[in-house]
Amino acid sequence: MIPAVSMAKLMWRHGERSPARLRAVRAGITEDLLIDAFAVHAPTTRPARLARERLFVIAGRGDRITPPDHAEELAMHWGVDVRWFDGGHLAQLGRGDPIRDVRRELGKLGFAGLAFRAHRR
Protein backbone atom coordinates (compact mmCIF):
# COMPACT_ATOMS: atom_id res chain seq x y z
CA MET A 1 0.00 0.00 0.00
CA ILE A 2 1.40 3.34 -1.12
CA PRO A 3 4.63 1.73 -2.35
CA ALA A 4 7.95 3.52 -2.46
CA VAL A 5 9.54 1.64 -5.33
CA SER A 6 12.76 3.65 -5.58
CA MET A 7 14.20 5.46 -2.58
CA ALA A 8 16.73 7.04 -4.94
CA LYS A 9 14.00 8.56 -7.12
CA LEU A 10 12.12 9.78 -4.05
CA MET A 11 15.23 11.36 -2.57
CA TRP A 12 16.12 13.00 -5.87
CA ARG A 13 12.58 14.31 -6.44
CA HIS A 14 11.98 15.61 -2.92
CA GLY A 15 15.46 17.07 -2.56
CA GLU A 16 15.29 19.11 -5.76
CA ARG A 17 15.91 22.48 -4.09
CA SER A 18 17.79 21.34 -1.02
CA PRO A 19 21.36 22.43 -0.22
CA ALA A 20 22.28 18.74 0.21
CA ARG A 21 21.17 18.01 -3.36
CA LEU A 22 23.17 20.95 -4.69
CA ARG A 23 26.27 19.70 -2.83
CA ALA A 24 25.69 16.19 -4.15
CA VAL A 25 25.42 17.43 -7.73
CA ARG A 26 28.62 19.45 -7.33
CA ALA A 27 30.31 16.27 -6.05
CA GLY A 28 29.21 14.36 -9.17
CA ILE A 29 26.25 12.49 -7.67
CA THR A 30 23.50 11.86 -10.20
CA GLU A 31 20.07 10.29 -9.97
CA ASP A 32 21.34 7.29 -11.94
CA LEU A 33 24.18 6.81 -9.46
CA LEU A 34 21.70 6.83 -6.58
CA ILE A 35 19.43 4.38 -8.43
CA ASP A 36 22.37 2.00 -8.80
CA ALA A 37 23.34 2.41 -5.14
CA PHE A 38 19.79 1.73 -3.89
CA ALA A 39 18.96 -1.03 -6.42
CA VAL A 40 19.27 -3.73 -3.77
CA HIS A 41 16.25 -2.16 -1.99
CA ALA A 42 14.06 -1.72 -5.08
CA PRO A 43 11.35 -4.37 -5.50
CA THR A 44 11.51 -3.94 -9.28
CA THR A 45 15.05 -5.37 -9.42
CA ARG A 46 13.86 -8.90 -8.67
CA PRO A 47 10.81 -11.07 -9.32
CA ALA A 48 7.97 -11.29 -6.83
CA ARG A 49 8.15 -14.33 -4.56
CA LEU A 50 4.38 -14.71 -4.32
CA ALA A 51 1.87 -15.77 -6.93
CA ARG A 52 0.34 -12.88 -8.87
CA GLU A 53 -3.12 -13.46 -7.32
CA ARG A 54 -1.59 -12.74 -3.90
CA LEU A 55 -0.09 -9.39 -4.93
CA PHE A 56 -1.86 -6.09 -4.48
CA VAL A 57 -0.81 -2.52 -5.13
CA ILE A 58 -2.94 0.18 -3.51
CA ALA A 59 -2.10 3.82 -4.03
CA GLY A 60 -3.49 7.34 -3.85
CA ARG A 61 -3.91 9.36 -7.02
CA GLY A 62 -3.17 12.52 -5.04
CA ASP A 63 -0.08 11.26 -3.23
CA ARG A 64 2.76 13.78 -3.20
CA ILE A 65 5.09 11.82 -0.89
CA THR A 66 5.07 8.50 -2.74
CA PRO A 67 3.84 9.60 -6.17
CA PRO A 68 1.50 7.49 -8.31
CA ASP A 69 4.26 6.60 -10.79
CA HIS A 70 5.86 4.41 -8.10
CA ALA A 71 2.67 2.35 -7.76
CA GLU A 72 2.35 2.12 -11.54
CA GLU A 73 5.95 0.93 -11.87
CA LEU A 74 5.50 -1.78 -9.23
CA ALA A 75 2.16 -2.92 -10.65
CA MET A 76 3.66 -3.16 -14.12
CA HIS A 77 6.61 -5.14 -12.79
CA TRP A 78 4.30 -7.56 -10.96
CA GLY A 79 1.74 -7.74 -13.78
CA VAL A 80 -1.17 -6.53 -11.63
CA ASP A 81 -3.47 -3.53 -11.64
CA VAL A 82 -3.22 -0.65 -9.19
CA ARG A 83 -6.20 -0.30 -6.89
CA TRP A 84 -6.52 3.46 -6.66
CA PHE A 85 -8.10 5.75 -4.10
CA ASP A 86 -8.50 9.49 -4.56
CA GLY A 87 -6.59 10.68 -1.52
CA GLY A 88 -2.91 10.84 -0.81
CA HIS A 89 -0.25 9.57 1.53
CA LEU A 90 -1.52 11.44 4.59
CA ALA A 91 -5.18 12.04 3.78
CA GLN A 92 -6.17 8.60 2.51
CA LEU A 93 -9.62 9.68 1.38
CA GLY A 94 -11.60 6.96 -0.32
CA ARG A 95 -9.26 4.08 0.51
CA GLY A 96 -12.14 1.96 1.81
CA ASP A 97 -13.10 0.49 -1.58
CA PRO A 98 -9.62 -0.77 -2.50
CA ILE A 99 -9.12 -2.13 1.03
CA ARG A 100 -12.45 -3.98 0.79
CA ASP A 101 -11.37 -5.38 -2.61
CA VAL A 102 -8.15 -6.70 -1.11
CA ARG A 103 -9.98 -8.16 1.91
CA ARG A 104 -12.40 -9.92 -0.45
CA GLU A 105 -9.52 -11.35 -2.50
CA LEU A 106 -7.65 -12.45 0.63
CA GLY A 107 -10.84 -14.10 1.86
CA LYS A 108 -10.99 -16.15 -1.35
CA LEU A 109 -7.44 -17.31 -0.61
CA GLY A 110 -8.38 -18.37 2.92
CA PHE A 111 -7.03 -15.33 4.75
CA ALA A 112 -10.37 -13.76 5.73
CA GLY A 113 -9.67 -13.54 9.48
CA LEU A 114 -6.17 -12.18 8.95
CA ALA A 115 -7.41 -9.63 6.42
CA PHE A 116 -10.12 -8.45 8.81
CA ARG A 117 -7.74 -8.06 11.77
CA ALA A 118 -5.16 -6.21 9.68
CA HIS A 119 -7.81 -3.79 8.43
CA ARG A 120 -9.24 -3.07 11.89
CA ARG A 121 -5.93 -2.06 13.47
| Residue of higher predicted confidence among 23 and 87 | 23
Name the nearest CA neighbour of 38 among 71, 89, 4.
Answer: 4
pLDDT above 80 for 94:
no
Long-range contacts formed by 33-42: CB under 8 A, 24+ apart? 34/8, 35/6, 35/8, 35/9, 37/8, 38/6, 38/7, 38/8, 41/7, 42/5, 42/6, 42/7, 42/8
Helix axes 96-108, 112-120, angle to 10 degrees: 160
Q: What is the mean pLDDT of the chain?
A: 86
Helix axes 31-38, 7-14, angle to 10 degrees: 150
Asked if residues 60 and 50 have their Cβ atoms less than 8 Å apart, the reply is no
Residue 113 is predicted with a pLDDT of 61
| Alpha-carbon separation of residue 83 from 26, 29, 39 (angstroms) | 40, 35, 25
Of the chain, the percentage scoring pLDDT greater than 90 comes to 48
Asked if residues 69 and 6 have their Cβ atoms less than 8 Å apart, the reply is no
